[in-house]
Amino acid sequence: MLIPVSSGPRKTYLTNRLLFVADHATNFIPESYGNLGVDEANLQEHIAWDIGTLDVARAVRNRTGGRLLRAPVSRLLIDLNRDPSHPGLIPESSDGILIPGNMGLAPEERQRRLEQYFHPYHSTLSAEIDAMLEADDKVALVSMHSFTPKLNGHGMNGQARPWHVGILYNQDDRLARRAIDWLRREPGLIVGDNEPYSGRLLNYTMDRHAEARGLPYLSIEIRQDLISTPEGIADWSERLSALLRFLL
């Protein structure tokens, strides 16, 4: 779903240059899928979406201007940040939770989800970039994600993740390197360099739409507990807005 340019007093010269992307913005699953057989409580957790990312992306966009494309459905239905051939495109389990509605999936249903959700999402993103490049050749993409405070968070012995934020990248690190340096000057902030995930492994949307076009991008992972309240969202939106102004 494309959310158009913001309007208001905080819009800046960055308006025509920034495209925010939130691949895992929602936990929505169409009613016809019956929650894929997953308990409602689990759908509120990180397995279904990147908690806080849409709120932060909107808040930053409202400060800097720009456009925002967000996922229309939960990553459990289909993960828009995975290659169509990736085994995690339609997961049968996530963090130890089984996804019954995805198990033993017929090829026809897999193709239907690709055609109904995956391909339209990426086609819309590609078209939006084309339109923005017609107006300004200095377009940059900002990919927003969040991660759990613990790896394997459903277990009692989950591995703690100390980072407050991580910057991910694959081959193109021109914005990532500067962003990491800038964030590490923030007192008390622990900043991951291709952590807690490596952008060399999980970077499909940015690989396809930024790296393949030679466009600069920033892929940001924020720890979910830091953006689960209005105060945290305000704090991080202010910080990231300042970062983008510095970078661009």
pLDDT in tens, the chain (248 residues): 655 433 333 444 456 689 999 999 999 999 999 999 999 999 999 999 999 999 999 999 999 999 999 999 999 999 999 999 999 999 999 989 999 999 999 999 999 999 999 999 999 999 999 999 998 788 999 999 999 998 765 544 567 899 999 999 999 999 999 999 999 999 999 999 999 999 999 999 999 999 999 999 999 999 999 999 999 999 999 999 999 999 98
Question: Hey, what are 152's tokens?
Answer: 């394997």
DSSP 190-237: -EEES-SS-TTTS-HHHHHHTGGGT--EEEEEEEGGGGSSHHHHHHHH
Question: Hey, what are 132's tokens?
Answer: 């923005």
Contact 95, 54 (CB under 8 A): no
Residue 26, domain extent: 2-247
Element (H, E) at 183: helix 174-183
Q: What is the DSSP letter of 164?
A: S
Number of domains in the chain: 1
CATH number of domain containing 62: 3.40.630.40
